[in-house]
């Protein structure tokens, strides 16, 4: 099988019931459309399509019977829970026409800020570009080796030669940051004064609340004991009267 070649067959029935049956058989319902042509409802093999996606190609050689068409993957619908592919839209294109497409970013190099504890955080994993359909790259390399702690790389800093970048130029592609680390409490040396912070205050409040609770419990026990004595005395008086 050629890397970007995919076989498709015509889809006769178009309804929810038939689509469900198609998916249960390991197939995917597809729509093909192109300027000056009628839309075509098709079926493709799930495994073959996933294989093509993994290669990173954007233009597929779609074989419909004896006809072959160059198509761009325009949209893929996934199941919200299982991530299973539910539907695909293919756009027929000429390899010489310009198209807008999202291309994956491939980050290379180790940021110099890593030596100082910095961590590269990728904010974008793809950018939208405009180029001829036959010249779409599988991925675009972004060198981050020159980034220090606090440095950020924006879309406007990217340079891919003749490729036109359509993504927002002010969007952050990658930033080197220092992860937040909680400071451990230090044990004071002998003779060193300790400042009472929030933790100390919380412990003090908890201690006061605990003492109050104990006091209330003791008062409750005393009250219960007093009430019990009163009841006993009243009963004794009633017996004497009898």
175: Cβ contacts below 8 Å, ≥ 6 apart: 120, 121, 123, 151, 152, 153
- How many beta carbons lie within 10 A of that of residue 1, not counting itself? 9
Helix, coil or strand: residue 63: strand
Please report, for the chain, the start and end positions of each structural domain, with discontinuous segments joined by +. 5-93, 101-177
- Listed as ranges, residues in the chain with pLDDT below 50 are 1, 182-185, 194, 196-206, 209-211, 213-228
Q: What is the DSSP letter of 76?
A: E
How far the first Cα of the chain sits from its last, in Å, is 111
| Whole-angstrom distance, CA of residue 238 vs CA of residue 242 | 6
Query: Residue 191: left if φ>0, alpha if ψ -120 to 50, beta else—which one?
Result: left
Helix, coil or strand: residue 106: strand
Residue 3 near residue 14 (C-beta atoms within 8 A): no
- How many beta carbons lie within 10 A of that of residue 237, not counting itself? 9
**Displacement of CA 123 from its chain's centroid (Å):** 11
Q: Tell me the backbone φ, ψ of residue 79, rounded to 5 degrees.
A: -70, 130
Q: In what order do the strands lie in the sheet with 164-165?
A: 139-143, 98-108, 126-132, 164-165
- How many beta carbons lie within 10 A of that of residue 45, not counting itself? 16
Which value, to the nearest 10 degrees, does the dihedral of the CA atoms of residues 114, 120, 126, 130 take? Answer: -60
- For the domain spanning 5-93, the CATH number is 2.40.240.10
The CATH topology of domain 101-177 is RNA Polymerase Alpha Subunit; Chain A, domain 2 (2.170.120)
| Whole-angstrom distance, CA of residue 165 vs CA of residue 102 | 10
Residue 184 near residue 163 (C-beta atoms within 8 A): no
| Whole-angstrom distance, CA of residue 82 vs CA of residue 78 | 8
Closest residue by Cα to residue 149 from 108, 110, 111, 109? 111
Greatest Cα-to-Cα distance within the chain, rounded to the nearest angstrom: 118
């Amino acid at each position: 099988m050629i890397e970007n070649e995919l076989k498709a067959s015509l889809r006769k029935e178009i309804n929810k019931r038939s689509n469900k049956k198609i998916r249960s058989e390991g197939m995917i319902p597809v729509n093909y459309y192109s300027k000056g042509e009628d839309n075509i409802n098709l079926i493709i093999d799930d495994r073959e399509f996933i294989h093509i996606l993994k290669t990173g190609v954007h233009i597929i050689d779609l074989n419909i019977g004896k006809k072959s068409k160059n198509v761009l993957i325009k949209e893929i619908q996934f199941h919200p829970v299982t991530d299973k592919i539910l539907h695909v839209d293919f756009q027929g294109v000429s390899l010489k026409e310009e198209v807008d497409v999202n291309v994956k970013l491939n980050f290379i190099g180790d940021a110099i800020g890593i030596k100082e504890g910095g961590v590269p955080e990728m904010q974008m994993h793809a950018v939208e570009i405009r180029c001829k359909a036959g010249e779409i790259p599988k991925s675009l390399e972004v060198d981050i080796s020159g980034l220090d702690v606090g440095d950020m790389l924006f879309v406007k800093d990217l340079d891919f030669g003749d490729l036109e970048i359509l993504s927002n130029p002010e969007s952050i592609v990658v930033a080197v940051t220092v992860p937040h680390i909680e400071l451990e409490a230090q044990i004071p040396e002998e003779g060193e004064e300790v400042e009472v912070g929030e933790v100390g205050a919380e412990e003090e409040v908890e201690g006061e609340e605990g003492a109050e609770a104990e006091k209330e419990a003791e008062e409750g026990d005393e009250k219960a004991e007093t009430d019990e004595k009163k009841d006993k005395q009243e009963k004794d008086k009633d017996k004497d009267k009898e």
